[in-house]
Structure 1
Amino acid sequence: MCRQCEGLFQYSKRCSSTSDAECTCKEGYRCGGDGCTFCIRSCGVGQESTRSGCQACRYGTFNDQPNGSCKNWTMCSGNQVLEPGTPAKDVICKDASVNFTSVTTVPTTSLEIPFSITVPGKDVQTDTIRISLAVAGLSCIVFLLPLCICFSVWQKKKLHAVFKKMHTLEQSVQEDDACSCHFPEEEQGEYQNPGKSTELRDLLMN
């Protein structure tokens, strides 16, 4: 038995001995389900389909495609809105990177070389320079290391000699101070024994 296209349906292909009839929806409606089993009202731009039919997109949403669904407007950063949104159109934001000053540009052409130029022996020269620098660096290290060691040893010996000399000088100063301490006692003894001093002077005069 062939399918009957009635009501909101209309024939898109008639029934034949080899195939069944195919139905489509009348103008203002669109097919729903597999094989167009039912028809729903077609909704235009700025609308979306609901159970009760087509309904306009609520504030803050839009639909720019027929039989589409409503989507939220784009949120512009810092409320930089260039054009407000409508049920059929999204919000257009200001682009800070856009410069409206017209600039005249002169087209330039660049010369492209379809082949690469290689310099013979360039890699060999580079390797030779690197090896020479490495050898020079190692030579400096080998030469400077013994000098640093010798200088350190010489510095220690010099400091030891200076400390030894200072110690000897300090001992000699202490001995001089010890000797100088006896002279006042001798002078004091002379003043305490004036008789002995007089006798000694008489003996020397005779």
Structure 2
Amino acid sequence: MNKAFVFFALTLSFAILGQACQTPQPSQVVEDSANTYFPLSAFVQSQVSALRDNGSTKVAKKVIFDGKVERQKLQIKDWEKELGVFMKADINKAGLRNSYQRIDSVTSQGAYKIYRALEPQLKVRELCVLQNLNGEVVDIRADVRQQNALYSEKQTLVLHCKPDKQGRARLASYRIESIQDIALKAPNTFVLEADLLD
């Protein structure tokens, strides 16, 4: 197994694939009056704080690489590092204002907010957030692309939440899927999935 991929997998650790974020109908393009987008980094940080307070949460992980599957159960010591890849997909930054088109849609599943990149150089191509009727997050999906002359990577990041006893969104699972394509080499695909255990 390539050392870079092993390091990446051990650093990231991950979990369950949420639904693909297709634009639900009916939908409408919305101008965000505050020129801000969903605060992904702040949301993930709130989950990190809740997990720290809990202290005893264990995770069942599955890593799939090159057709091989590895499974393990463990307790995460540094949740901020564990979920750092999701915080890096935050688009709610001053430098990204007016860089995304926002599409709002309400369906039987809840309310979708979909942010689509308007410029080809933006790494986060799409961010999709599904919230229930109480405004609590159910699913978050981010599609991330990085590319240069010798290397390209496509990442799909998924967070899935369930309500706690107070009805607040709490992380239940997460998943990262990555396809790396390096010049003169066959593409590498791996998936890291993680389920939080009660």
Give the TM-score normalised by the residue count of structure 1. Answer: 0.15
- Relative to its length, the structure with more helix (as a share) is 1
The structure with the greater share of residues assigned to strand is 2
Q: Report the structure number with the largest CA radius of gyration.
A: 1
TM-score, structure 2 normalization? 0.15
